[in-house]
Amino acid sequence: MRKLTRAVSALAVAAAAAAAVTLGSGPAQAADGSWDGCPSGAVCIYGEGVHDNLTTPTDVFWSYGAHNLSGQYNWHWVLNNQTGGAHAHLCLGSNGANCTYDLAAQHGVWADLTPVNSITLDRP
């Protein structure tokens, strides 16, 4: 229980810090709708600690629903390049359980993925 409490606390602190560096709406996009290598309609995770060269995501998610993460630790950029107002959520549990961070469409967040076990893509 103590470990879970620490994880929740760590994610809450990370989310608060990440909110301060969340990318604003209306990012510069290529003519094809891609954003820093994240295709239009997708949610992308970039490599650990990558700041300046967001051109090739390590994970690209296309379908609505929960996606379990594997081997994602420490700080990563997560970009939500979905269209039509679709949201993504970072979740502490697997299969989309205990979601704690809501990422609006056309936004990105610098997040500690160590306590995150899944991400959901949700219809508007």
Average pLDDT estimate for 101-120: 97
Number of domains making up the chain: 1
| Dist. CA 44–CA 54, nearest whole Å | 10
- pTM attached to this predicted model: 0.75
Average pLDDT estimate for 60-65: 97
Q: Which domain covers residue 109, as residue numbers?
A: 2-122
In CATH, what number is assigned to the domain containing residue 17?
2.60.20
Average pLDDT estimate for 14-40: 59
